[in-house]
């Protein structure tokens, strides 16, 4: 009798898990962190995950694309591919709470940005303020959880008018593509003038960090496909071995980073394609959260 109850419980657990995990989860995106503040966070809106393009690790074979190949524009991304979907505690997502009591991994930073008492502890007033920001920025679910997507959006908004205010990216007379791993934003400047961006991005995960320092765009391939993983890398602009700027056909707002490339939304990657030229310099600094 006891063994039968255990069996029933096991089946029930598997059924619950199956209802929570979106279709294709096992092969679509790497598993979440095994430990740390994001270990128990899940996307707050349950829908089939977009394919997480596994970026090329090794340097590609360089060749000159023909006119016919270059004339083909990469396909557009699916509607909603780049929506701001926050990562929230599993219990809150299942219960579909209106305002969470949970303290998020970026609680103190979010409180400070909202000009609230930065004590790192969630309160009803904190939740209300965070939720209002999330609603305005169309972050879902807007339940007041200070998660990685909410904090990333705040960092982007703070950098939008003057991304190089801290002067972390060297000012030169020529174009420099600036890649800020800490804030997960990128832009291009010539002298002190920003000629592209800033735009949000996704850099390399733990063990596959986007390499810091000076680099140079050495190959541009509009319709590149990874020879290792056979996945599209639209508007690829390689700057260091197999690491490149390129678009992905899914969210760049994930808790897990790329395999080293700088991932962009399709529209941003397309615009950057027209800004950068072969030989342009790239400067990378900082460190992505969790790496």
Task: Write the pLDDT tens digit of every residue in 11-33.
Answer: 333 333 333 333 332 323 344 44
The ranges of the chain with pLDDT < 70 are 1-40, 45-57, 229
- The answer to whether the Cα torsion of 76, 82, 83, 85 is positive or negative is positive
Q: What is the pLDDT of residues 165-182, one digit of tens each?
A: 999 999 999 999 999 999
Instruction: Quote the pLDDT of residue 17.
Output: 36
SS3 (DSSP) at 100: coil
SS3 call for 113? helix
Q: How far apart are CA 225 and CA 188, in angstroms?
A: 25
CA proximity to 135, closest of 117, 115, 153: 153
Distance CA 55, CA 245 (A): 10
42 alpha-carbon distance from chain centroid: 15
Residue 192 exposed, middle or buried by CB count within 10 Å (0-12, 13-18, 19+): exposed
Write out the H or E segment, with its range, that includes residue 20.
Answer: helix 2-20
The secondary structure of 211-266 as a DSSP string is PPEEEE--EEEEEEE-TTT--EEEEEEEEETTEEEEE-SS-S--SS-BSSSEEE-H
Stretch (H or E) spanning 41: strand 41-43
Q: Global pTM?
A: 0.82
């Amino acid at each position: 009798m006891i063994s039968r109850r255990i069996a029933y419980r096991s089946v029930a657990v598997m059924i619950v898990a199956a209802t929570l995990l979106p279709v294709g989860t096992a092969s679509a995106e790497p598993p979440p962190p095994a430990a740390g503040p994001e270990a128990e966070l899940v996307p707050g809106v349950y829908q089939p995950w977009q394919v997480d393009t596994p970026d090329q690790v090794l340097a590609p074979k360089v060749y000159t694309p023909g006119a016919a190949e270059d004339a083909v524009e990469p396909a557009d991304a699916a509607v909603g591919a780049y929506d701001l979907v926050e990562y929230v505690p599993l219990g809150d997502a299942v219960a579909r709470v209106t305002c969470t009591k949970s303290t998020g991994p970026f609680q103190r930073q979010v409180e400070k940005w909202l000009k609230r008492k930065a004590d790192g502890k969630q309160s009803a007033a904190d939740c209300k303020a965070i939720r209002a920001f999330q609603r305005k920025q169309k972050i879902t679910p807007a339940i007041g959880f200070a998660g990685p997507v909410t904090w990333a959006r705040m960092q982007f908004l703070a950098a939008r008018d003057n991304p190089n205010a801290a002067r972390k990216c060297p000012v030169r007379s020529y174009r420099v593509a600036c890649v800020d791993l800490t804030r997960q934003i990128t832009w291009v400047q010539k002298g002190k003038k920003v000629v592209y961006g800033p735009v949000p991005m996704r850099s390399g995960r733990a063990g596959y960090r986007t390499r810091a320092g000076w680099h140079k765009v050495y190959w541009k391939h509009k319709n590149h496909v990874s020879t290792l993983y056979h996945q599209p890398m639209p508007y690829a602009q390689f700057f260091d071995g197999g690491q490149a700027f390129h678009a992905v056909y899914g969210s760049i707002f994930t808790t897990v980073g790329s395999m080293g490339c700088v991932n962009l939304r399709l529209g941003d990657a397309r615009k950057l394609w027209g800004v950068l030229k072969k030989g342009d310099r790239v400067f990378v600094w900082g460190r992505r959260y969790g790496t």
